[in-house]
Amino acid sequence: MQLKMKAPKPLTIVIKLGTSSIVDEKTHEPLLSILTLIVETAVKLHKDGHKIIIVSSGAIGVGLRRMDLDKRPKHLPRIQALAAIGQCRLISLWDSLFGHLRQPIAQILLTRNDIADRTQYLNAQNTFAELLEMGVIPIVNENDTIAVTEIKFGDNDTLSAITAAMVHADYLFLMTDVDCLYDKNPRTNPDAQAIEVVEDISALQADVSSAGSALGTGGMSTKIVAARLATSAGVTTVITRSSNPGNIVNIVRYVQNLKAATGSLPSTPPSGKIVQPASGSLDEPLARSTAELDLAVAAPLHTRFIPSSQPIRDRYFWLLHGLAPHGTVYIDTGAHRALSNKAGLLPVGVVDVEGTFAQQEAVRLVVVDRVPKATPQAGGLAPKLWEGPGMEVGRALVNYSAAEIMRIKGVRSSEIQGLLGYAESEYVALRENISFFVRESRPVTPSLELR
């Protein structure tokens, strides 16, 4: 009796291309050789049953070429006009290249405002799902024509990470002009070591001197930020060279085969450098199978960020990364403990408030040590209510404005009516509207963090 081989699981793969991978930095001509290889790679993966999304920069660069301009202007309306000109030609170029291989594509333009609204976020998520189900490859870009600083993602690395989380992607490929991350700048340090696997991003010590091209907005540091976002949502994130798009197929095959051989994704590569969690160590296996070693030799050079074993998804990811925080609510350790046990945030646990925000706006949650007896500071300043640097632990959508929370902080819920004359809720924030950074908390400086 012949056993039937189980078909490989279809994967969802997001490929992010920066401006320097799409247009020449000096002439602004489209890099047709790279784009053609990207298209062939995407179609090959699609024919293998995988779902593909491309996050493509380049609209402004293509607009510069169309208008015969030498460099990116500084005036915002002019940049937005160039984006409008370039986006038409950019999507036309993608459509033409994919059209040769009879592969339909779709255009999706987003700003942070589009995902800050929960309904619009779900609409975008549903549109992605339907397009992928139809066998279409979505081409995503930030809507630079209408985006201003307040509603921009900042760079397409961040946009690609949020897109990957939105579609529950298996892989996010951040294509760049180097093979991988290095512990030092390889251009000036011949002894620079490649970093092949990153288990803990907070322990990462890598060279981030690459600041992006003159046409783009990203750099290596933004890719590490994007990797942090994507891995927190359970997405394996890879940095590799854009001029060799075929690496994507080989890396996916390599990692999937390692998973099949070991039953899970091993965090330690057969060779190269690994960034381990600061709080623990990983035991090096005594022996590896010949097949695994062969795979390791054949794998193209890349940096792979291991996804979180406790991914933050859907509504909780949206709370953390879809919304821009408008202020900070400082809470005591008792409130943090109660929130960890799935309780809502009561006013008695609030120590202080910073910033100006309205009801149902997002705020940072920072845990602090409450001062037992607040005494007035020198110069008649308001008494210090807490001490220490504070630890940012998550985000919340609040039921009350900053001014209202200032009045009810530290009191029992039964006293809200008497203090405000009304009581919208007994909670400052409902537990379903609170999300924590599971993998880590990071220290914050209140005056610098609030922007």
Q: How far apart are CA 261 and CA 351, in angstroms?
A: 52
DSSP 192: P
Query: Does position 206 have pLDDT exceeding 70, yes or no?
Result: no
- Check residue 11 and give its pLDDT: 96
Confidence of residue 365 (pLDDT cuts 50, 70, 90): very high
Q: How far apart are CA 247 and CA 63, in angstroms?
A: 29
Q: Which residue has the higher pLDDT, 288 or 147?
A: 147
Q: CA 161: distance to chain centroid?
A: 4
- Check residue 362 and give its pLDDT: 95
- Check residue 214 and give its pLDDT: 45
What count of residues does the chain have? 451
- Check residue 261 and give its pLDDT: 75
Q: How far apart are CA 271 and CA 299, in angstroms?
A: 11
For residue 128, report the phi and psi dihedrals to the nearest 5 degrees: -55, -50
Q: Check the CA dihedral 249-250-253-259 and report its sign.
A: negative
In single-letter form, the type of residue at position 85 comes to I
Query: Does position 446 have pLDDT exceeding 50, yes or no?
Result: no
Say what the alpha-carbon torsion angle 226, 149, 391, 408 is, to the nearest 10 degrees.
Answer: -140
Average pLDDT over residues 69-91: 89
Confidence of residue 289 (pLDDT cuts 50, 70, 90): very low
Average pLDDT over residues 57-69: 89
Average pLDDT over residues 430-434: 94
Q: How far is CA 365 from CA 145, 228, 321, 331, 443, in A?
A: 33, 19, 14, 7, 12
For residue 54, report the phi and psi dihedrals to the nearest 5 degrees: -110, 125
Q: How far is CA 209 from CA 16, 187, 202, 308, in A?
A: 20, 11, 18, 27
The full DSSP string for 43-77 is HHHHHTT-EEEEEE--HHHHHHHHTT-SS--S-HH
Tokens of residue 8, six digits:
């490989």
Query: Does position 379 have pLDDT exceeding 70, yes or no?
Result: no
Query: Does position 445 have pLDDT exceeding 90, yes or no?
Result: no
Are 44 and 185 spatial neighbours (Cβ–Cβ below 8 Å)?
no
Tell me which residue has tokens 């007896």.
373
Q: Check the CA dihedral 257-37-106-120 and report its sign.
A: positive
Tokens of residue 419, six digits:
């203090």
Average pLDDT over residues 111-137: 93
- How many Å is the maximal CA-CA distance in the chain? 89
Percent helix, strand and coil across the chain, each to the nearest 5: 40, 20, 40
Residue 2 DSSP SS3: coil
Greatest mean pLDDT among 2-6, 14-18, 149-153, 263-267 lies in 14-18
DSSP 117: S
Residue 329 β-bridge partners: 353, 365
Are 89 and 97 spatial neighbours (Cβ–Cβ below 8 Å)?
no
Q: Which residue has the higher pLDDT, 354 or 293?
A: 354
Tokens of residue 168, six digits:
């529950």
Average pLDDT over residues 384-390: 79
Confidence of residue 53 (pLDDT cuts 50, 70, 90): very high
Query: Does position 15 have pLDDT exceeding 80, yes or no?
Result: yes
Average pLDDT over residues 35-59: 95
pLDDT tens track for 149-170: 544 566 789 999 999 999 999 9
Q: How far apart are CA 167 and CA 133, in angstroms?
A: 12
Query: Does position 444 have pLDDT exceeding 50, yes or no?
Result: no
Q: How far apart are CA 136 and CA 43, in angstroms?
A: 10
Residue 398 DSSP SS3: coil
Nearest alpha carbon to residue 17 among 32, 36, 38 = 38
Q: Check the CA dihedral 333-334-340-343 and report its sign.
A: negative
- Check residue 439 and give its pLDDT: 45
- What integer best gives the mean pLDDT of the chain? 83
Tokens of residue 350, six digits:
């609030």
Confidence of residue 73 (pLDDT cuts 50, 70, 90): confident
Confidence of residue 116 (pLDDT cuts 50, 70, 90): confident
Element (H, E) at 259: helix 246-262
Are 150 and 113 spatial neighbours (Cβ–Cβ below 8 Å)?
no
Query: Does position 181 have pLDDT exceeding 50, yes or no?
Result: yes
Tokens of residue 206, six digits:
């890598």
Query: Does position 137 have pLDDT exceeding 80, yes or no?
Result: yes
